[in-house]
Chain A
Amino acid sequence: MELNFDWKNFHSLFFQSIETKHAADSAQSKPVFVLKDNGFVSFAFSEGENLLDWVGAPEDEIRENFKHREIVFLNKSTADGWMLKSTNHDLYYDQVKFLKSQAFGFLKKNKKNLESYFLRHFLLESIESWWNKFLPSSYGMFLRFDGEQNKDYVLIVQKDKISGFNEPDLTALGVDQRKDLAAVVKYLSEKYFIPVQGFVLDYQKWKDIASSPEPWKKTAFLIRSGQIKLAPFRWRLVFLIASRAFLGL
């Protein structure tokens, strides 16, 4: 694994922004997840509640106690197996994706309607979707945030997978050049030997888009109104965004 994945900021940008979806729900409406072993509770989890007193209790007892809520039972050995198999992947992002896909698959198989708890960031979802048929096999995205968080990030995609994310080192550029989005994008393209697409937007707008029910539509409107700047302006990318935003593809 390379040392170029800044997980902390990646998590902050792509995960924390969508954590608020269920935060306002009361504890009583949230699902309960139980790891069981031989008919007994090995572990119990529900966000905002401490259910550790249930460890060791019979499965039937917890089922009865939470019968008015959605309760999901999973064998402890299955959960242990997921954690172990996730080590076959190098990047933490891939490991988390693997765990989520296993959990999502389990819920679907058991007809549990809890997809809303497993949402991914709209940008990551799109990058790893059919978009990769229209985008280069390797490319980068330069994200510049204004406003409350003045930060630059570069996201690298190689062979349809996210392979890197960090704050780029722009010290080789002059102070004026660092302010010029086109110059930065050109520099990064030459540094990584891949085409790079630059985006500039206010950080608050980024958060608003992520928590919007139609994030691509919002993105499209912000591009049209100039609140999101692209450098360079690539029609192929705009077409992809529009197809998601207005056609739901």
Chain B
Amino acid sequence: MLVRDVNPYPIRLVINFWEYSNAQLGTKLDELLRLGLTHIASFVPWQLIESDISRSLNRFLQAASERRMALSLVITPDVGVYYPYSGLPKDLASSTESEAKQRAGDPFCILLPPNVFCLPSLHSSHFLTRYHSYLTRLDSLLSEISKAHPKLLERVRIVLTGSFWKYYRSHYASSSRAFEGEARDFSHCSSLLFREYLERNYAQKEFAELESAEPNRWKSKFLEKTNYDLFSEYAEQMFKVRTAQFVKRKAYTVDCVELYTPEADPAYSYTYLFQTLLNARGNLKLFSSLLSQMAVRKTKYGEDNSLPFIYWNALGGFKNLTETEKQFLILKSILLMGSQGGGIFLNESEWFSFSSPFRQRVENLAKLMSQGELSIKTRALYLTPHLWSVKHPLYYELVRILGVETRVISQIEMLSAMSKTMFLIVDPAFIITKKILDELLQWAQAGRVLALPRSSLYTSFAKGLLEHLLAQNSSMEFNLGLTYHVCPLKEGKLILYDYPEKIHMQGESLHALRNFIKSLLSLAHIEDYCHFNDGRIEMIPLKFNENSMSVFVLNDSAKKIDSELFFNHSVYISDFFNALSSQYDRESLLHENAERFELCIPPCGVLPLLIEGIESLDEAHILASQDAEFIKNSVHISAINEFPGITELEGTKSPWN
């Protein structure tokens, strides 16, 4: 059995405890216990903590503890909470001075019940002061409870979420494509902090231009967009770090979560406006594409990697979907997020409105994920200055080819947890310092492929390091789409690519870009496991145990799709859920050993396949690199131990070249 740190609760059912009186709460929890639920989640509305005299949170903790139920409490302000102003204090939420602003000066409206409101600015000092005092108050409340009743908090997990940052996007820009457009707060307080950030950041020695005609080029207008991206990323990380500091002083169990509510996404705002006006049905395709885009983004919360969760609060567009469409989204959410250690938050009444067989199926998947038996691989990384503002064509093409096995990151520190990923491409707008370059090269030299842009965004120190490296190793030039140089980097490869200032996403330019990405993936030994002959189909390939692979085939359209599935070599496929059952007779369920299969995917359908006999080139490459690294280290240690006078083997030529 695999032992690793996995999320024990991929499905977190939400109960809004403030909606129940004392007696009703007890009855409700008893009912949930009878239905087999032993773990529940709830948001803690900020407004409630500031103004609640009935101590409803205490009552809730007491009631849950009496029934030995585990509890996840989400304490950070987030969208979709069923409380006025999503739990924010009314004066903060309705204050125009603390509002976050779009470029044109309009606020960001969230259209979800229980009331439409505008997002506050997380840069506002007034907001942050109030927020920190709320955290302090909550902390002292929990401490009081813990002193009076030590066992009350035994089964409680504190959940910290990423808050509003990802929703600072214009409705208009997001309407054309999920997560399109810059995610930025243009409020006055944000602008002031941005100027301070520029001065502070570029006062560092790293940015001292040794020989340059433009000593202040880092603060120039030309780099304004990149600097705003860096500032937004920095501000978000500081918010998370300070939040975590408040909570982690005490010995709570803390889950750091990137919680995403698709119903509140700016991309869905206009759709939801018209659905509300016309009593119209929900848009499954839009929700589906939002999920896919969110799944490839990986965030950090201070020192920890965030667990990705989707929250379907079912008060917005979700409630206007058909039963089949809802089931499709729930399955897709758990497949994408649960396989990365995250999961879903869902209102308990919504969960129990689904049929029992469906719930059983989702629970089985969640159980496998909580035991670490079903997980998604990250085969390629994309490093961007700001996670919520990625819009480079390179990124879109990478995701188009590799789908949900791509991961976008914005923090270089996340690389240490990505040892099984063999390829990373750096966004051309990323500013590269010597420290960043060092870390990237260290990561790449263990048999990985690193693609760096040949841009003007290197500091003098980083440029010096790169030039020194290139001088020591010969490189080869290629032109497959774009011009790039390949340079050996111990066991790995460094690719320096030339990216034109403007590239059209159509015709010859698009074709060139695609060839370029494919050639890079080929260098990293990353190839398709399989492919369909129909572009409407989406695949979620998951690693099942150590030796098998499951592929979930998704059709988010309203029509059934007949398609063919092609593999590079013969494999066996069977139904994934049948394969899990204890009466599984493998021989009888396996389809013929073949390279090509005809499949029919129903409308809003998820076809679960178990594939056996699949070989992955990059997986073999990972193992070979790891073995090579291990053997090399062993040889070095033996040489140091056995041969007197040898202390370090630095500078000696590697026998593996």
Contact = CB atoms under 8 A, between A and B. Distances in A.
B584 interface: no
Interface string B22-56: 01100000000000000000000000000000000
A127 B247 CA distance: 49
B107 A84 contact: yes
B115 A15 contact: no
Interface stretch (B137-145, B182-190, B271-279): B271-279
Interface string B585-603: 0000000000000000000
A83 B109 contact: yes
Contacts of A183: none
B114 A84 contact: no
Contacts of B116: 83, 86-87, 92, 95
Contact of B319 (A8, A42, A76, A95): A8
A169 B270 CA distance: 37
Contact of B83 (A3, A47, A95): A3
B172 A1 contact: no
Given A48-B281, A87-B117, A99-B276, A8 B315 contact: yes
Interface size class of B (residues with CB under 8 A): 35 or more
Interface string A69-109: 00000001001101110110111100110011001000000
Contacts of B269: 83
A83 B116 CA distance: 8
A3 B113 CA distance: 12
Contact of A33 (B82, B83, B117, B274): B274
Contacts of A154: none
Interface stretch (A49-57, A134-142, A219-227): A49-57
A170 to B, nearest CB: 10
A38 to B, nearest CB: 11
B280 interface: yes
B107 A8 contact: no
Interface in B85-140: 90, 94, 106-107, 109, 111, 113-118
A233 interface: no
A117 interface: yes
Given A7-B315, A87-B109, A87-B116, A37 B172 contact: yes
B199 to A, nearest CB: 34
A31 to B, nearest CB: 9
B172 A76 contact: yes
B286 interface: yes
Contact of A50 (B19, B117, B283, B315): B283
Interface size class of A (residues with CB under 8 A): 35 or more
Given A18-B279, A50-B283, A103-B277, A45 B271 contact: yes
Contacts of A117: 277-279
A65 to B, nearest CB: 17
Given A42-B175, A76-B172, A100-B277, A84 B109 contact: yes
Most buried by A among B82, B107, B277, B319: B277
Contacts of B15: none
Contacts of B473: none
A15 B277 CA distance: 11
A152 B21 CA distance: 16
A199 interface: no
A145 B614 CA distance: 56
A19 interface: yes
Contact of B286 (A15, A50, A118): A50
A161 to B, nearest CB: 15
A99 B277 contact: yes
Contacts of B315: 7-8
A96 B115 CA distance: 9
B176 A171 contact: no
Most buried by B among A5, A8, A19, A171: A8
Contacts, number: 108
Contacts of A8: 113, 314-315, 319
A91 to B, nearest CB: 7
A159 interface: no
B443 to A, nearest CB: 38
B393 interface: no
Nearest to B109: A83
A11 interface: yes
Interface in A1-47: 1, 3, 5-8, 11, 15-16, 18-19, 21, 23, 33, 35, 37, 42-43, 45, 47
B285 interface: yes
Given A8-B315, A83-B273, A118 B176 contact: no
B370 to A, nearest CB: 29
A6 B523 CA distance: 57
A3 B18 contact: yes
B363 to A, nearest CB: 24
Interface string A183-211: 00000000000000000000000000000
B113 A7 contact: yes
A43 B267 CA distance: 10
B84 A3 contact: yes
Interface string B478-502: 0000000000000000000000000
A19 B279 contact: yes
A96 B109 contact: no
Interface string B274-310: 1111111101011000000000000000000000000
Nearest to A114: B278
Given A7-B114, A7-B315, A86-B116, A55 B175 contact: yes
A83 B111 contact: yes
Interface in B605-629: none
A8 B314 CA distance: 8
A90 B331 CA distance: 35
Contacts of B285: 50
A219 B605 CA distance: 41
Nearest to B285: A50
A154 B315 CA distance: 20
B211 to A, nearest CB: 44
Nearest to B277: A103
Most buried by B among A56, A76, A92: A92
Contact of A92 (B106, B115, B171, B175): B115
B117 A35 contact: no
Contacts of A15: 279
Most buried by A among B84, B113, B276: B113
A35 B269 CA distance: 13
A76 B107 CA distance: 14
Interface string B374-404: 0000000000000000000000000000000
Given A3-B18, A37-B172, 19 more contacts: A3-B83, A3-B84, A15-B279, A19-B281, A19-B320, A33-B274, A42-B175, A43-B175, A45-B274, A52-B177, A76-B172, A83-B111, A87-B109, A87-B116, A89-B115, A91-B115, A92-B114, A117-B277, A169-B21
28 contacts: A7-B114, A8-B314, A18-B279, A19-B320, A23-B281, A33-B274, A37-B172, A43-B171, A43-B175, A43-B270, A45-B274, A47-B280, A50-B286, A79-B273, A82-B273, A87-B109, A87-B117, A89-B115, A92-B113, A99-B277, A100-B277, A103-B277, A119-B279, A169-B21, A169-B23, A171-B21, A171-B23, A171-B24
Interface of A: 1, 3, 5-8, 11, 15-16, 18-19, 21, 23, 33, 35, 37, 42-43, 45, 47-48, 50, 52, 55-56, 76, 79-80, 82-84, 86-87, 89-92, 95-96, 99-100, 103, 117-119, 169, 171
Q: What are the 8 tightest A-B residue pairs by CB atom distance, in nearest-first order?
A: A7-B113, A55-B176, A47-B280, A45-B274, A43-B270, A19-B279, A1-B84, A92-B113
Interface of B: 18-19, 21, 23-24, 82-84, 90, 94, 106-107, 109, 111, 113-118, 171-172, 175-177, 269-271, 273-281, 283, 285-286, 314-315, 319-320
